[in-house]
Amino acid sequence: MNDLIRPKRIVLGITASIAAYKAADLASKLVKSGVDVYPVLTAEAARFVGPATFTALTGHPCPIDTFDEPFPGEIAHIWLARNCDLIAIVPASMNCIARLAHGLADDMLTATVMATAAPILLAPAMNTGMWNNPATQANLETLSKYGYQFIEPVTGMLACRTEGVGKMADVVTIEAAIQSVLRGSQPLSGKHVLITTGPTREPIDPVRYLTNRSSGKMGYALAETARRLGAAVTLISGPTALPAPIGVQTIPVETAREMMNAVQAHVQTANIIIAAAAVADYRPETISPQKIKKNGSAPTIALVENEDILAWIGKSKRPDQTLVGFAAESENLLANANKKLQGKNLDWIVANDITAAGAGFDADTNIATLISRDGAQTPLPKMSKREMAERILVAVSPIPPAL
């Protein structure tokens, strides 16, 4: 069949994590959407899920060992490597990530990955300790430099009955990422995206500070997605509990002043600037060098206004730079968002009603309206922050993406 009209073909690698059973659901969803799925298991993964499941779901053999040769007349790992449009490893174990980072090719899956020129997408899944292990983090950085793409794990209840980062992203998110790569969409390739996120902390004394409820989740989702869509990403982040996204230049800051300094240092090269941070409007006028003691009368803390980072970017940006702001409002959402859009010279604003269930601070989902400079409104109904990140980036991207 002509290569241009054949269905998209992927190699779906499955490695040995509890999350391996979710790969069966993913395979089924991909097949139903018309993707030709070639499953490959690692030997250890086959202790969690069997090749028969994947063969039945995909209609293709599910090799494990490099010397399994299920395609007559072909060397299987080379044939798979050359004839697929994408390799997705779901779930990707710590061990598999390490082997790939070190160029090992000692089973069918790793040999196929080593031989391919196709894009490679990993959905890591592992215990929090394994994820935070410096070896894993170094291996992820290495793979990011080699051009691997990631669907970051989330924080949640793990199979080891602990709560933490390392839980595989949900299957719907992974399928969306696979479909997006298959559509050949790296619309932000060659672009620099600068994102601010999280709260700021304005110190009162050495132990106390003023802050807000921002979790940073929307900004981190934007950073991961922009990276996956091909951009070089700088993420300037106030204090959050989130791990730095793989392959993203993450600059931790605490105060609004530090955030402003970091923005000023990185804004020149940015093509798209997304200000998702919840910057404190005020800071204590003076910071007590010593912990303020109780002495019978409550202290008065005088506040002064912080410099408005978004307004500064709006004033100083070049016409070729796209500026996106967020409006987190608890009343008169659209009117307030429009005022901010015009008043701060933004190109787009994402208006969030923080009082709606499933929207705003610390939620994993969001509900918003995207408003353009010319007043066009796109409602973004309740969806995961990752999905919303992709919708926002695609809409504001100056290059019409082939999505």
> Which residues are the active-site residues?
160
Choose the binding region for ligand FMN from 123-131, 195-203, 207-215, 342-350 (rule: CB under 6 A): 123-131
Which of 66, 83, 95, 137: binder of ligand FMN (CB under 6 A)? 95
Q: CB nearest ligand FMN: which residue?
A: 17
Q: What is the DSSP letter of 57?
A: H
For the bound state, the minimum distance from the C-beta of residue 19 to ligand FMN, rounded and expressed in Å, comes to: 6
Instruction: Give the pair of three-digit tokens for residue 224.
Output: 């991961």
For the bound state, the minimum distance from the C-beta of residue 179 to ligand FMN, rounded and expressed in Å, comes to: 24
Q: Which of 239, 307, 230, 229 is nearest to 277 (CA)?
A: 239
Which of 36, 44, 65, 141: binder of ligand FMN (CB under 6 A)? 44
Q: Is the Cβ of residue 40 or residue 392 nearer to ligand FMN in the bound state?
A: 40
Give the per-residue SS3 of 62-116. Answer: CCCCCCCCCCCCCCHHHHHHHHCCEEEEEEECHHHHHHHHCCCCCCHHHHHHHHC
Q: Distance (Å, rounded) from C-alpha 326 to C-alpha 199?
A: 13
Q: Does 17 bind ligand FMN (CB under 6 A)?
A: yes
Instruction: Give the pair of three-digit tokens for residue 188.
Output: 């932000």
Q: Distance (Å, rounded) from C-alpha 347 to C-alpha 345?
A: 7
Choose the binding region for ligand FMN from 37-45, 216-224, 311-319, 354-362 (rule: CB under 6 A): 37-45
Q: Does 306 bind ligand FMN (CB under 6 A)?
A: no
Q: Which of 35, 80, 76, 83 is nearest to 59 (CA)?
A: 35
Q: Does 323 bind ligand FMN (CB under 6 A)?
A: no
Q: Does 112 bind ligand FMN (CB under 6 A)?
A: no
Size of the site for ligand FMN (CB under 6 A): 15
For the bound state, the minimum distance from the C-beta of residue 68 to ligand FMN, rounded and expressed in Å, comes to: 15
DSSP 141-169: HHHHHTT-EE---EEEE-TTS-EEEEEPP
Q: Is the Cβ of residue 19 or residue 218 nearer to ligand FMN in the bound state?
A: 19
Q: Does 89 bind ligand FMN (CB under 6 A)?
A: no
Q: Does 403 bind ligand FMN (CB under 6 A)?
A: no
* Angle between helical axes of 171-182 and 385-396 (0-180°, round to 10): 20
Instruction: Give the pair of three-digit tokens for residue 143.
Output: 């793979």
Q: Does 126 bind ligand FMN (CB under 6 A)?
A: yes
Q: Does 130 bind ligand FMN (CB under 6 A)?
A: yes
Which of 7, 18, 203, 372: binder of ligand FMN (CB under 6 A)? 18
Q: Does 42 bind ligand FMN (CB under 6 A)?
A: yes
Centroid of chain to Cα 62: 30
Residue 285 neighbours by CB distance under 10 Å = 9
For ligand FMN, the binding residues (CB under 6 A) are: 15-19, 42, 44-45, 93-96, 125-126, 130
